[in-house]
A and B are shown apart, each in its own frame.
Chain A
């Protein structure tokens, strides 16, 4: 479902003396349906970078990245947008929202974009928020004023409200207490059970061992280290 082959990435910082940072070379990765794969490696080794490349947020300088039928590395912007709408979900570490949109709407948005009716979209969003212990009194407020943990749960709700066939999860259990961590892990297991291909970054070892069949160490993709 998610396939990366011989992927390379470098950053050229033009305004800092044209420094070239080569961060990745010869990266290979496969995630099948129903599988959960963890990206590991030291901080700064390139885990988030690779994830962003699969999401299409970072350019791929060499090699191929394919998600489902779409060649992310060479696709047109509208194809990537369609992919993100329907097929590929991404729960990042940051919740980026418009200032005055209420929480319920934020979570329902992926469904609304897919043409789901407002009532149904909001009902499904409400169910997820309840499960993640975000009280109904908060649904009408913008999440910008929430605590870090609450924002993270809203982020997760938005990422799981639509059953994406492929999911990218960047530290989904960070900032969460035990009860909510457990809920999130259940959500991930349910996604796996319905056949989603999941790629995750988990600092939390327990979560990683429980959820993931395999681990891929991105340090192996550092330029000069490739096998």
Chain B
């Protein structure tokens, strides 16, 4: 049997009604900051539960523009997670600021209790990364944010509709940054991103920043970027957003099935599943003994398992100048040796899921 990782082929195989919408849209020529985009932004804000949402070119840009909007610039420090995807750090570096790393805990998100000692006079913001569909401990982080008056920009790229105590990712901080990349839970046919916020001033500033600082066609009030979500992609987003809750529900159902079965395998450890968290499983990850061989075995058996990521961010060549040692972020390091990701998306059927479980069982029985 074959359990593929990318389901993009299945997702859009049968959607004649979307094609009708797209054809109708293209004939309007309304390609840049057009009407369907405005509609999408309204729907997105409503889905997440913020006053405003703004379509931008990518999740990376959602972070970059957010940081820029709250005034992060050259020489500032921004605290973030040591195990994130490169884009978080790239956005910080692009503004001339310096990333200051905090280790994660077994939820793959930054360990909030480690932040305090990293705060300096130069700290301008904290970027918690709701990695893999988990949530950073936001209630605790908000306390810290208030105490030190440090704004929070949430990297919610992998956690759309994730929540703690029913409060969604992207609604806690000054802004929330989302990605609509083809491999994300809610996806379009290209790079794409969204920023959510409740702050009208920040919203107005972001609107300028994403479109060259143009107040209207002829007046430029600040120096901005070109970072717009294509209106064409917004048409796809509008079609997909009503399905968002169902997609999330199905992923959670799949994850529960895995959890139940894997909890009976002694060589597998399941990360904590706190009751007040809604985890949306952009990635379904467990800790596995003899991970490298398990990965090889799965691949051989037609299961496209992956590792997110085998080299943690802080050990990448691009951060060589920081002279980090492996043991500087011990939990992130340990994870990189034991984590494995199994396909968990909404298009998998029960037979495929059971095949994954059976294969993992078999691998350990063999030994």
Chains A and B are bound partners: no
